[in-house]
Chain A
Amino acid sequence: MTLEFKLPDIGEGVHEGEIVQWLVTEGDVVKEDQPLVEIMTDKVTAEIPSPASGTIAELRGAAGEVIEVGTVIVVIEQSGSGAQSSEKPAEKTASANGKPNTEAKACTAVLNKPAPQSAPVASSGGKVLAAPATRKLARTMGIDLSVVTGSGPRGRITQDDVRSFNTDGGSVTVPAMASVASVSIPNDSRKPFKGIRRKIAEHLSLSKQKAPHFAYVDEVDVTDLVAIRKQLKPIAEAQGTKLTYLPFVMRAVSIALNEFPVLNSTLDEAAGELVYKGAHNLGVAVDTDNGLVVPVVPKVQGQSIFALAHAVKATSEKARKGSLTPADMTGGTFTLTSIGSVGGLFGVPIINYPEVAILGINKISTRPMVVDGAIVARDVMYLSLSCDHRVVDGADAARFVNRVKALLEAPAQLLV
């Protein structure tokens, strides 16, 4: 019997998806639940599992092609007794965005990005050399040990190796540079520009085309904020949360947005109306192996610093593991991007269209400042705000940043 498998509804509001790559070829024997194809929507990349066991009779569509939900993408030839109704796939994939409590957890199984295929550290049985607790730590952090370089004897991976792999942002340790004489100049190479990377490109181009950007930059004396965060950090750690500066900025931004709601608006060009958004749903740009993703922390109004820290931790972990659901990435009203963790004086961010403003959080560094006529060392950070000039004027932007700055310079206000 032949089963025609249609592209299932992957998530709310998704009507089409692009074939990133086929994971099977025609003639392959597949098992039920075996991943067939990687489909990318404008929100996530998902592996679509086979609805049944059988032989792949036909693949409809090539990598790069955009397929509408409900279109037949695979024809599976089933051997007689194993035949199953085609009802099943819809239910299976529905778990990707299913009920929050139970089936949402199932989504990790479906949406996980494939483990990077690279040669494991030499060890008997082809398994990575690491103690059980180290392996568990890697699972918890969502790290594939086969791409971590071990510092121990025979390449043994320690817990420190796993932790530092994570803070390195997942970069694979590069072997020591060969001497200049032996360097060979590689040829130009080409790589398909597709998947999430292409979506990012399209999205950013749209933003720059539609929204005339202007940027506004100011410096903030965060000496007190540094002190308060230092004080709160161990308390947060006791609760299992790493306290960064981001939750403080989120709180300050939310308070300021109450006073300058135009920065939390969006332009409905069709209706010719400016839509003031009720909730402050803050997008938080996260750098992942697959590129930049912007999960949303919803309804931050009135949330405590710790609550925000918990929420940020949860979403960024999901982002790094590649297990974000479409729901995690929709509904943003204002975006924050932490440029400072990498370095630089400040960056000028591009608006996450159709939002109208994005705030860049830059590096904190100790610099000489004049306080009460004397030059003293202070912790200073730049804030860089980009706005859609169709909606926001320079004075609004300046007043908004002034308010955020005032809150961050006297951070006790953020705790009440």
Chain B
Amino acid sequence: MAKTVKNVVIGAGPGGYVAAIRLAQLGESVLVIDKEPSLGGTCLNWGCIPSKALIHAANTYETMTGDAEEMGITATGVSVDLAKLMAWKDGVVTKLTGGIAGLFKHHKIEHIQGAASFVDKHTLSIAKPDDSTETVTFENAIIATGSSIINLPHLKVDGEVLIDSDAAINLKEVPKHLVLVGGGVIGLELGVFYAKLGAQVTVVEMQPQLLPGMDTDVVNALARSLKKRKNMTVHLNSKVASVDVNNGTATVTVETPKGEETLSADKVLVAIGRKPNTSGLSLEKAGLKADDKGFVATDDQLRTGVPHIFAIGDVTQPPMLAHKASKEGLVAAAVIAGQPERLDVRAMPAAVFTDPEVATVGLTEAQAKEKGYEVTVGQFPFAASGRALTMNESVGFTKIMTDAKTDQLLGVHMVGPHVAELLGEVTLAMEMGATAEDLALTVHMHPTLSETVMEAAEAVHGLAIHSASKPPRKAAKKSAQNLAKV
């Protein structure tokens, strides 16, 4: 006898669990199916959360062994117990995933562990870990199955020498030489982490810049910082042609613009991207079809082609971001509960937790120009921020781009200390349709890093107080005049 539920959510990641809780809050009953025993999906178990715990620890270690000395603090005998660090990180993860379990209990959300696949438009089959199967019929379903790591056929991950990011957050010891295949977000965050713990790190990226797709100015600033690390090397426009593993050592052949290079490494981390998890769902049985890349198309209510089946998060379309999934989950839940809700996001923030951090929202400069905007840029360096200097941080800047005609924000890109934390203000500003003048006129607490947002906004009009640098990329005079008219 099939189990019957009103609503089912497939996947308990930041899309699925948020959708489930919101459904419950709106008085809807909901069943959540996830193939893992632990809730929270990739984000909590193998992604955002564990990597940030590790990165924080590495920052602490680097401060103790480096920066602190400059401030007169000498620490001796500082060492890293990687096993203990991993255990602490696992503790953080357990606390958070347990927290979701607690919230599910509070909201009376049922959770079944198993892999779900469609039988028809209103039926799912769940393959459970004990090899039994259970059938569930539903009225509405949300596909929130997330994404998984892409593997390269010629670089087969063995979990020992050739590893993926899931393994990289669980290494038992710091590699001597780590080669990163892919200079994207995931690879760079883990690369900087191991570099801080002492590993020699070589990054191989096929594109002409790290973090492909991000604003060139901030990426260049990050690249300069990475270059200063003695134990980090970056190869752009380059390709890992082959990896030969012998007795636990990899011989890596890299094709660089300067010619072929052979590296010897004890770990090779393949981090070239992620793909949507839709292949195991038997979508066709529900009358659905994924596109060539595995994504499921939705409308702005997150409905798929079958109106009572929704899709959210990594399975819908890039960017693959936890907070994008959560937002889509909230909208889908509201729609299921009968509200006239629609996805209406104007600013999708994103951050990279390297050192320095990168944070970005809105259009890149290249995109803005492509769209035909007359762009004005205001930039302010952290080297001129009192708060940054008191933290012994002086790398990076805040860059604000506006539409010269309306002064409205088009994009904000930051590289520097804790910039991910500064994104909230500018994301809200963009959602509100704020102008650079709005940011400039808002009093910012002194001394804080957020003052750089205000100063960069002033710089758009050529009026930054604490910067002797060049006027904005449009004539300062003209901007100042425009300001009076706005």
| Chain A residues within CB distance 8 Å of chain B | 32-33, 88, 91-92, 95, 99, 101-103, 105-106, 108-110, 122-125, 127, 129-132, 135-136, 139-140, 142, 154, 156, 321
Structural contact, A124 and B308, CB atoms closer than 8 A: no
Query: Contacts of B339 on A, CB cut-off 8 Å?
Result: 140
Structural contact, B139 and A102, CB atoms closer than 8 A: yes
Known: A102-B139, A106-B307, A132-B432. A124 touches B373 (CB 8 A): yes
Structural contact, A102 and B140, CB atoms closer than 8 A: yes
Known: A102-B139, A132-B431. A139 touches B406 (CB 8 A): no
| 28 pairs, A vs B, C-beta closer than 8 Å | A33-B305, A88-B287, A92-B307, A99-B139, A101-B6, A102-B6, A103-B307, A106-B303, A106-B308, A108-B340, A109-B303, A110-B307, A123-B406, A124-B373, A124-B409, A124-B410, A125-B346, A127-B346, A129-B433, A130-B433, A131-B431, A132-B431, A132-B432, A139-B344, A140-B339, A140-B340, A142-B340, A321-B340
Which residue of the partner chain B has the closest CB to A99?
Answer: B139
| Whole-angstrom CA separation of A113 from B76 in the bound complex | 72
Query: Contacts of B342 on A, CB cut-off 8 Å?
Result: 139
B268 to chain A, nearest CB (A): 38
Which residue of the partner chain B has the closest CB to A321?
Answer: B340
Specify the main secondary structure of chain A where it touches its partner.
helix
- The proximity string for B residues 298-324 relative to A, scoring 1 for CB distances below 8 Å and 0 otherwise, is 010101010110000000000000000
B403 at the interface (CB under 8 A from A): yes
Known: A132-B344, A156-B433. A124 touches B408 (CB 8 A): yes
Which residue of the partner chain B has the closest CB to A108?
Answer: B340
Query: Contacts of B308 on A, CB cut-off 8 Å?
Result: 95, 102-103, 106
A144 to chain B, nearest CB (A): 11
Query: Contacts of A135 on B, CB cut-off 8 Å?
Result: 344
From A91, A92, A131, give the contact of B432 (CB < 8 A).
A131
Query: Contacts of A88 on B, CB cut-off 8 Å?
Result: 287
Structural contact, A124 and B301, CB atoms closer than 8 A: no
| Whole-angstrom CA separation of A33 from B289 in the bound complex | 13
| Whole-angstrom CA separation of A136 from B299 in the bound complex | 17
B341 at the interface (CB under 8 A from A): yes
Query: Contacts of A131 on B, CB cut-off 8 Å?
Result: 431-433
B338 at the interface (CB under 8 A from A): yes
B169 at the interface (CB under 8 A from A): no
B335 at the interface (CB under 8 A from A): yes
Query: Contacts of A122 on B, CB cut-off 8 Å?
Result: 406
| Chain B residues within CB distance 8 Å of chain A | 6, 121, 139-140, 287, 299, 301, 303, 305, 307-308, 335-336, 338-342, 344, 346, 373, 403, 406, 408-410, 431-433
Structural contact, B307 and A109, CB atoms closer than 8 A: yes
A313 to chain B, nearest CB (A): 14
Name which of B121, B308, B341, B433 has the most chain A CB atoms within 10 A of its CB. B433
Known: A105-B335, A106-B308. A139 touches B340 (CB 8 A): yes
Query: Contacts of B346 on A, CB cut-off 8 Å?
Result: 125, 127
Known: A131-B431, A154-B406. A139 touches B341 (CB 8 A): yes
With A95-B307, A124-B403, A140-B339 given, name 17 new contacts (CB 8 A): A91-B287, A102-B140, A103-B307, A105-B336, A105-B338, A106-B307, A106-B308, A123-B433, A125-B346, A127-B433, A131-B432, A131-B433, A132-B432, A139-B340, A142-B340, A156-B433, A321-B340
| Whole-angstrom CA separation of A139 from B335 in the bound complex | 11
| Whole-angstrom CA separation of A103 from B433 in the bound complex | 36
Structural contact, B340 and A123, CB atoms closer than 8 A: no
| Whole-angstrom CA separation of A182 from B287 in the bound complex | 60
Known: A95-B307, A131-B432, A140-B339. A109 touches B299 (CB 8 A): yes
A126 to chain B, nearest CB (A): 10
B305 to chain A, nearest CB (A): 6
| Whole-angstrom CA separation of A124 from B409 in the bound complex | 8
Which residue of the partner chain A has the closest CB to B402?
Answer: A124
- Ordered nearest first, which 9 A-B pairs have the shortest CB separation? A106-B307, A102-B139, A124-B408, A124-B403, A129-B433, A131-B432, A132-B431, A139-B340, A102-B308
A321 to chain B, nearest CB (A): 7
Query: Contacts of A95 on B, CB cut-off 8 Å?
Result: 307-308
B468 to chain A, nearest CB (A): 30
Query: Contacts of A33 on B, CB cut-off 8 Å?
Result: 299, 305
| Whole-angstrom CA separation of A194 from B219 in the bound complex | 58
Query: Contacts of A125 on B, CB cut-off 8 Å?
Result: 346, 410
A296 to chain B, nearest CB (A): 20
Known: A123-B406, A131-B431. A32 touches B305 (CB 8 A): yes
Query: Contacts of B338 on A, CB cut-off 8 Å?
Result: 105
Query: Contacts of B305 on A, CB cut-off 8 Å?
Result: 32-33
Which residue of the partner chain B has the closest CB to A31?
Answer: B297
| Whole-angstrom CA separation of A92 from B309 in the bound complex | 12
B23 to chain A, nearest CB (A): 13
| Whole-angstrom CA separation of A410 from B137 in the bound complex | 53
| Whole-angstrom CA separation of A127 from B373 in the bound complex | 14
| Whole-angstrom CA separation of A136 from B159 in the bound complex | 47
Which residue of the partner chain A has the closest CB to B336?
Answer: A105
| Whole-angstrom CA separation of A102 from B342 in the bound complex | 17
Query: Contacts of A103 on B, CB cut-off 8 Å?
Result: 307-308
B412 to chain A, nearest CB (A): 13
B285 to chain A, nearest CB (A): 13
Known: A102-B140, A132-B431. A124 touches B307 (CB 8 A): no
| Whole-angstrom CA separation of A138 from B301 in the bound complex | 15
| Whole-angstrom CA separation of A292 from B121 in the bound complex | 38
A249 to chain B, nearest CB (A): 28
B455 to chain A, nearest CB (A): 22
Query: Contacts of B341 on A, CB cut-off 8 Å?
Result: 136, 139
Query: Contacts of B301 on A, CB cut-off 8 Å?
Result: 109
Query: Contacts of B410 on A, CB cut-off 8 Å?
Result: 124-125
B302 to chain A, nearest CB (A): 11
Which residue of the partner chain B has the closest CB to A134?
Answer: B432
Query: Contacts of A127 on B, CB cut-off 8 Å?
Result: 346, 433
| Whole-angstrom CA separation of A108 from B139 in the bound complex | 17
Query: Contacts of B139 on A, CB cut-off 8 Å?
Result: 99, 101-102
Which residue of the partner chain A has the closest CB to B344?
Answer: A135
Query: Contacts of B409 on A, CB cut-off 8 Å?
Result: 124
Query: Contacts of A142 on B, CB cut-off 8 Å?
Result: 340
Known: A103-B307, A109-B301, A131-B432. A123 touches B408 (CB 8 A): yes
A88 to chain B, nearest CB (A): 7
| Whole-angstrom CA separation of A101 from B5 in the bound complex | 13
A48 to chain B, nearest CB (A): 14
Which residue of the partner chain B has the closest CB to A33?
Answer: B305
| Whole-angstrom CA separation of A99 from B431 in the bound complex | 37
Query: Contacts of B335 on A, CB cut-off 8 Å?
Result: 105
Query: Contacts of A124 on B, CB cut-off 8 Å?
Result: 373, 403, 406, 408-410, 433
Which residue of the partner chain A has the closest CB to B339?
Answer: A140
A30 to chain B, nearest CB (A): 13
B294 to chain A, nearest CB (A): 16
A85 to chain B, nearest CB (A): 10
A323 to chain B, nearest CB (A): 9
